[in-house]
Amino acid sequence: MFELTGKTAVITGGGSGIGKATAMLFARRGATVHILDIGEAACAQVVREIREQGGQASAHACDVTRQADVHASFAAIGPVGILINNAGVAHVGKADNTGEEDFDRVIGVNVKGAYNCLHAAIPRLKENGGGVIINMASVAAWVAVPERFAYSAAKGAVMAMTLSVAKDYVQEGIRCNSISPGRVHTPFVDGFLARNYPGQEAEMFERLSKTQPIGRMARPEEVAALALYLCSDEAAFITGSDYPIDGGFITLNA
Cα distance between residue 55 and residue 135, in whole Å:
24
Cα distance between residue 149 and residue 166, in whole Å:
26
Cα distance between residue 152 and residue 147, in whole Å:
9
Considering only CA atoms, which of 56, 53, 25 is closest in space to residue 224? 25
Q: Is residue 138 within 8 Å of residue 151, measured between CB atoms?
A: yes
Q: In 3-state terms, what secondary structure has residue 79?
A: coil
Q: How many CB atoms lie within 10 A of CB 232?
A: 17
Q: How far is CA 209 from CA 16, 29, 110, 122, 201, in A?
A: 20, 30, 24, 37, 12
Residue 180: φ, ψ to 5°: -120, 90
Active-site annotation holder among 115, 151, 169, 243: 151
Give yes or no: 169 in active site. Answer: no
Q: Show the CA angle centred on residue 76, arms to residues 72 and 79, nearest 5°.
A: 110
Q: How far is CA 158 from CA 87, 132, 141, 181, 185, in A?
A: 12, 16, 8, 13, 21
Which residues participate in catalysis according to the annotation?
A: 151
